Amino acid sequence: MASAAESFTPLLLISSLLVASWFCATEAKSTVPVVQGLSWTFYQSSCPKVESIIRKQLEKVFKKEIGQAAGLLRLHFHDCFVQGCDGSVLLDGSASGPSEQDAPPNLTLRARAFEIIDDLRERVHKECGRVVSCSDILAIAARDSVYLSGGPDYDVPLGRRDGLNFATRNATLDNLLPPFANADTILSSLAAKTFDPTDVVALSGGHTIGISHCSSFTDRLYPTQDPTMDKTFANNLKGICPASDSNSTTVLDIRSPNNFDNKYYVDLMNRQGLFTSDQDLYTNKKTRGIVTSFAANQSLFFEKFVVAMIKMSQLSVLTGKQGEIRSSCSVRNSGSSYLESVVEEGFEALSELI
């Protein structure tokens, strides 16, 4: 029979985890200002079930394939960094030109992530009509991806509107840095978006889940091996990617690729970061101390990650009467959006009667 102490330990662990995630959520709420037009309770009367619909569905999706969590988290990051969190990355190309999706940094976004967002959009609009934006659905889905992979739970300010157009290829390239960028480049680029070094190191912790294609890091293996990379790690990577353009993939965090935890920072301290943009955070004196503090203290990482994510999720958002609420996440509404919503809601009411 288990001793009192043995049965007490898991209880203690669970309650301290709950306290830690509650602390994260409440502390973030009081430290990150909410931009005008967004609010913590935006859909309280118009679509009170939006968050539970998304969470329940993602629980099912991730049970089958946890990798999709990484795809959704990255999609939200790519949405927010280019032209703000306006769902522009979700738009397909049109006669006016190729979409953001066609720009190089977005070519490795998962096709399935776009499908999951469209499916969530359909479920949410079936319940509430066309009131929740695709950009909000993506922000909630990214939060749930973090939480359901073992990371912190937190509230997301809501009320974003969807953009009417996508960014150009050049704007996309300017805002999404390449994996060969060093820490100084990343720090100055992200400072322009109001992120401080702690935010930068915390956000990079998104690489605690997910995968990469060989082409994103083989510049560190061929023709010469990056001396900052652990030798055994490099040899293993060479086995996975025998040439610089090999088509394989590998995990971003070798210690726990599917768990949202602080092991990514332990990887960096062991010179097992996959990209230069990861490893240089440990090499650079300005960020090294932050990396070691997160490697030693997962709660601290979670707390700073939540703050940085809430900041990121509010970059240049459209609110109020700006933009629109898309009927389909991959195309902008055509014509009068008011007329469309009246027609759509009419159809929904009719189909319930039949």
DSSP letters spanning 97-143: B--GGGSGGGTTS-HHHHHHHHHHHHHHHHHH-TTS-HHHHHHHHHH
Q: Is 119 annotated as a binding residue?
A: no
Tell me the per-residue interface mask from 241 to 280 with ligand HEM, x by CB under 6 A, - otherwise.
Answer: -----------x----------------------x-x---
> How far is the C-alpha of 132 from the C-alpha of 162, rounded, in Å?
10
H or E element that contains 292: helix 285-296
- Kind of pairing, strands 211-213 and 249-251? antiparallel
> How far is the C-alpha of 259 from the C-alpha of 157, rounded, in Å?
25
DSSP letters spanning 238-284: HHH-SSTT---EEES-SS-TTS-SSHHHHHHHTT--SSHHHHHHHHS
Among 24, 28, 32, 74, binds ligand HEM (CB under 6 A): 74
In the bound complex, what is the minimum distance in angstroms from residue 73's beta carbon to ligand HEM? 4
Contact by Cβ (8 Å): 81, 74: no
In the bound complex, what is the minimum distance in angstroms from residue 259's beta carbon to ligand HEM? 12
Q: Rule CB under 6 A: is residue 195 a binding residue for ligand HEM? A: no
| Selected range binding ligand HEM among 172-180, 227-235, 259-267, 322-330, rule: CB under 6 A | 172-180
Among 25, 35, 37, 110, binds ligand HEM (CB under 6 A): 110
Contact by Cβ (8 Å): 184, 107: no
Q: Rule CB under 6 A: is residue 211 a binding residue for ligand HEM? A: yes
Among 203, 229, 291, 317, binds ligand HEM (CB under 6 A): 203
Q: Rule CB under 6 A: is residue 71 a binding residue for ligand HEM? A: yes
Contact by Cβ (8 Å): 48, 59: no
Among 169, 213, 238, 288, binds ligand HEM (CB under 6 A): 213
| Selected range binding ligand HEM among 39-47, 133-141, 200-208, 255-263, rule: CB under 6 A | 200-208
> How far is the C-alpha of 34 from the C-alpha of 350, rounded, in Å?
38
Residue 76 appears among annotated catalytic residues = no
Q: Rule CB under 6 A: is residue 150 a binding residue for ligand HEM? A: no
> How far is the C-alpha of 215 from the C-alpha of 252, rounded, in Å?
13
Q: Is 194 annotated as a binding residue?
A: no
| Selected range binding ligand HEM among 38-46, 65-73, 126-134, 238-246, rule: CB under 6 A | 65-73
Q: Is 283 annotated as a binding residue?
A: no
Residue 8 buriedness (CB in 10 A; 0-12 / 13-18 / 19+): exposed
Which residues on neighbouring strands pair with residue 162, listed in sequence order? Answer: 324
In the bound complex, what is the minimum distance in angstroms from residue 141's beta carbon to ligand HEM? 12
Q: Rule CB under 6 A: is residue 209 a binding residue for ligand HEM? A: yes
Q: Is 34 annotated as a binding residue?
A: no
Cβ count near 94 (within 10 Å): 12
Q: Rule CB under 6 A: is residue 206 a binding residue for ligand HEM? A: yes
Positions at the binding site for Ca(2+): 79, 82, 84, 86, 88, 100, 208, 253, 261
In the annotated binding site for heme b, the residues are 207
List contacts with ligand HEM (CB under 6 A).
Answer: 70-71, 73-74, 77, 108, 110, 177-179, 181, 186, 203-204, 206-207, 209-213, 216, 252, 275, 277
Catalytic positions are 78
